[in-house]
Amino acid sequence: MALGESLKQVLGSAFTGLAGICDYQSFWRSLEEGEPAANGELQVAAGLTALQANGLQTHSLSSWRDLGSDDTYLASLQQVGREQFLIKPGEFVYLEGSQVIKFYADPVMTARRVERAERLKTLVPKISAQSDHFYAYPYQPGCLLTEVSNIEVFNNLLEQLSQRSLLP
């Protein structure tokens, strides 16, 4: 969107919900006075209409990426050349510098994962920080065991687990 487009053009484009509004009093007043949608929801268009009279200006966000679904998240990862992580409900994995940061919506799950790492000791990276919903550990390059088709590697893992009494 170019600077100074009409409100109709602005609202006809995808609106991310990201807005910097200087005249917020006019915006909120018009929003409250505007006609609600059929479901009773107030529409941002009413607030923006008031600002149009005061010289509403828009700016393009050419680098905006929609990450609202698994599909758009994965597409964005491919576009920026980042590795794809397994997507699990209630869990998010971030790679920040040399640290892997894991978030769990459920703090009980975070506590279980930290406890598991303590039991597995040298088989997994040592946790460097933790809180109710997050824990972090140093990034270790490699690949998932499911991507390795080598019986010796698998037998070595079973041997390591057996020596540490971690097999049932």
Q: What CATH number is given to the structural domain containing 116?
A: 3.30.200
- Provide the number of structural domains found in the chain: 2
Give the per-residue pLDDT at 62.
67
Give the per-residue pLDDT at 131.
94
Inside any domain, residue 120: yes
- Spatial separation of the C-alpha atoms in residues 31 and 42, rounded to whole Å: 7
Inside any domain, residue 75: no
Say whether 5 sits in a helix, a strand or coil: coil
Are residues 153 and 106 located together in one domain of the fold? yes
Inside any domain, residue 31: yes
Q: How far apart are the first and last CA of the chain?
A: 61
- Spatial separation of the C-alpha atoms in residues 48 and 23, rounded to whole Å: 10
Are residues 95 and 154 located together in one domain of the fold? yes
| Residues 49, 55 contacting (CB under 8 angstroms) | no
Give the per-residue pLDDT at 2.
41
Are residues 137 and 90 located together in one domain of the fold? yes
Inside any domain, residue 110: yes
Are residues 157 and 104 located together in one domain of the fold? yes
Please report where in the chains the tokens 């590795």 appear, as a residue: 83
Give the per-residue pLDDT at 4.
45
Are residues 41 and 106 located together in one domain of the fold? no
Say whether 134 sits in a helix, a strand or coil: strand
Are residues 91 and 150 located together in one domain of the fold? yes
pLDDT at 124 over 60: yes
Inside any domain, residue 118: yes
pLDDT at 74 over 80: no
Give the per-residue pLDDT at 9.
55
Are residues 103 and 48 located together in one domain of the fold? no
Q: What is the pLDDT confidence band of residue 1, given thresholds at 50, 70 and 90?
A: very low
Look at the pTM and tell me if it is higher than 0.85.
Answer: no
What phi, psi does 71 have (nearest 5°)?
Answer: -65, -45
| Residues 23, 82 contacting (CB under 8 angstroms) | no
101-110: Cβ within 8 A, 24+ apart: 101/134, 101/135, 101/136, 102/134, 102/135, 102/136, 103/133, 103/134, 104/133, 104/134, 105/133, 107/132, 107/133, 110/134, 110/135
Q: What is the pLDDT confidence band of residue 127, given thresholds at 50, 70 and 90?
A: very high
Are residues 155 and 91 located together in one domain of the fold? yes
Inside any domain, residue 168: no
- Provide the domain limits for residue 27: 7-52
Are residues 155 and 97 located together in one domain of the fold? yes
Are residues 94 and 157 located together in one domain of the fold? yes
Question: Taking Cα atoms as reference points, which of 65, 72, 57 lies closest to residue 1?
Answer: 57
Inside any domain, residue 139: yes
Least confident of 9-13, 52-56, 57-61: 9-13
Are residues 159 and 115 located together in one domain of the fold? yes
Share of the chain above pLDDT 70, in %: 75
Inside any domain, residue 61: no
